[in-house]
Amino acid sequence: MDNNLVIEKLKIIVKEKFLLESSGHDWWHTYRVYKNSTKIAKLENNSEINLFILEISALLHDIADHKEGYSDDDRYNIISNLLMNLNVDFKIIVQIINIVNSISFSKGKIPISLEGKIVQDADRLDAIGAIGIARTFAFGGNRNRVMYDPEKNNSTNHSDTIEHFYDKLLLLKNKMNTSSAFELAQERDLFMRGFLDEFYKEWNCI
């Protein structure tokens, strides 16, 4: 099957699966990761980048994700079957699965391939800035987290949504793999810090 046709079919499949997802990992998140992956690849201007692998990995990076209770075996089987039905070469399928299994921030992995590094960067870009702030509160509401609790006991496992900025989001700028993504992250990081400053002012009625 033509590579472009594979990509277009995958867009339809993933859009149908994630369109009504409400935790911030919806179709439009996937689409932005896809678009930013191709944008970063263009900025990196490296002829060794395999755009077919990059685009599929971006589109499938949240399929059968561990946060939804799937195991690595589940993900392997689901993605393999999906791509084999589209006649994607098995060697390419293995590379794609290796990439999507190494994207997650919580796993603390850095993808081996340049394509994987770029997709990870694109996923992290969508976690910061104005979109990142919106997604963070969407995810917090989806998981029944309080917005902010200044009286929480730090010795417990209790976590509020604002704490997520310090646990993850404010760390992401300096964890970008590519220089292009690092440059793109600068403005988004500053926007989040400005948001937090304003949040605390309003919270404390200053």
| Predicted local distance difference test score (pLDDT) of residue 157 | 55
Query: Mean pLDDT score of the chain, rounded to an integer?
Result: 92
pLDDT, tens digit (0-9, with 9 covering 90-100), for 27-75: 999 999 999 999 999 999 999 999 999 999 999 999 988 777 788 788 8
Provide mean pLDDT across the span 93-107.
90
Q: Rounded CA gap, 59 and 198, in Å?
A: 35
Q: Residue 144 in contact with residue 10, Cβ under 8 Å?
A: no
- For the entire predicted model, the pTM comes to 0.93
DSSP H helices in 61-160? 72-84, 90-100, 114-125, 129-142
pLDDT, tens digit (0-9, with 9 covering 90-100), for 140-167: 998 889 999 988 765 455 689 999 999 9
Provide mean pLDDT across the span 174-193.
98
Enter the tokens of residue 181.
């993504």
| Predicted local distance difference test score (pLDDT) of residue 153 | 64
3-state helix, strand, coil in the chain (%, to 5): 65, 0, 35
Enter the tokens of residue 138.
């969407």
Which of 119, 108, 121 has the alpha carbon at shortest distance from 167?
108
Which of 168, 171, 195 has the alpha carbon at shortest distance from 185?
171
Enter the tokens of residue 63.
């399929």
Give percent of the chain with pLDDT exceeding 90. Answer: 77
User: How far is Cα of residue 187 from the mean position of the Cα atoms in its chain?
Assistant: 18
pLDDT band at 187 (very low <50, low <70, confident <90, very high): very high
First to last CA, the chain: 61
Place of tokens 């079919």: 9
Which residue type is seen at 194? Answer: G
Domains of the chain: 3-203 (1.10.3210.50)
Which residue type is seen at 79? Answer: I
Q: Residue 75 in contact with residue 63, Cβ under 8 Å?
A: yes
